[in-house]
Chains A and B, each alone.
Chain A
Amino acid sequence: SYELTQPPSVSVSPGQTASITCSGDKLGDKYASWYQQRPGQSPVLLIYRDSTRPSGIPERFSGSNSGNTATLTISGTQAMDEADYYCQAWDSSTEYVVFGGGTKVTVL
């Protein structure tokens, strides 16, 4: 079955840039999406189709996807960005939806 791998945690200082990776076999051939989940809340769509932000999502969130890795970048990280982040893709061979294991971002 298709798997997406994320680092369990990423730490970043306020105002700095955080990068969260999501790895999967030929992930660059698929569309990757990213979700933010703050403690006790439902996930929120941050990025879809690799790099598109829904309306209302701040410009400091950006995404890319190439080869085997998709990356979510948070520029000028703020304390409010402390949350869990999940990547997601669709496996065309099984027609299953796949989530990465999630990355906890800590703003120190």
Chain B
Amino acid sequence: QVQLVESGGGLVKPGGSLRLSCAASGFTFSDYYMSWIRQAPGKGLEWVSYISSSGDTIYYADSVKGRFTISRDNAKNSLYLQMNSLRAEDTAVYYCAGGAGANTQFEYWGQGTLVTVSS
């Protein structure tokens, strides 16, 4: 049974930092591209970043480029998102999601973790 479990969300002040984690099980994590996708309260889905199966290809949405860093540890079946210089507009539920490639669909989704940026 596939599971993606996000953690690390919470309340942080503007300008602060937070590190999200996503623990994967039930599938061959090292074969999958992994992404972070977020959803602001009452809004739609917004892709944030993806990392290739080996970690050598990484892309970021323009809205987070230079502030967020995606990484993975295939030995630990884990995905990470380091978020720096957080802004109020980064407030959202952050989902980790997995797909066979960058240009493919997202087969697996986690339950999400809420990040709230507020003073």
Q: A-side interface residues toward B, CB under 8 Å?
A: 1, 31, 33, 35, 37, 42-45, 48-49, 54, 84, 86, 88, 90, 92, 95-102
Contact = CB atoms under 8 A, between A and B. Distances in A.
Interface in B78-117: 95, 102-107, 109-112
Which of under 10, 10 to 19, 20 to 34, or 35 or more describes the interface residues of B? 20 to 34
B56 interface: no
A42 B95 contact: yes
Interface string B34-77: 01010000001111001000000001011000000000000000
A25 to B, nearest CB: 17
Given A96-B61, A97-B35, A35 B47 contact: no
Contacts of B47: 96-99
Contacts of B112: 42
Nearest first, the 8 A-B pairs at minimum CB distance are A48-B105, A97-B47, A33-B105, A90-B103, A102-B44, A42-B109, A99-B45, A101-B44
Given A31-B104, A86-B45, A101-B44, A44 B109 contact: yes
Interface majority SS (helix, strand, loop, mixed), chain B: loop
Contact of B103 (A31, A84, A99, A100): A31
A31 B106 CA distance: 12
A43 B95 contact: yes
Contacts of A33: 105-106
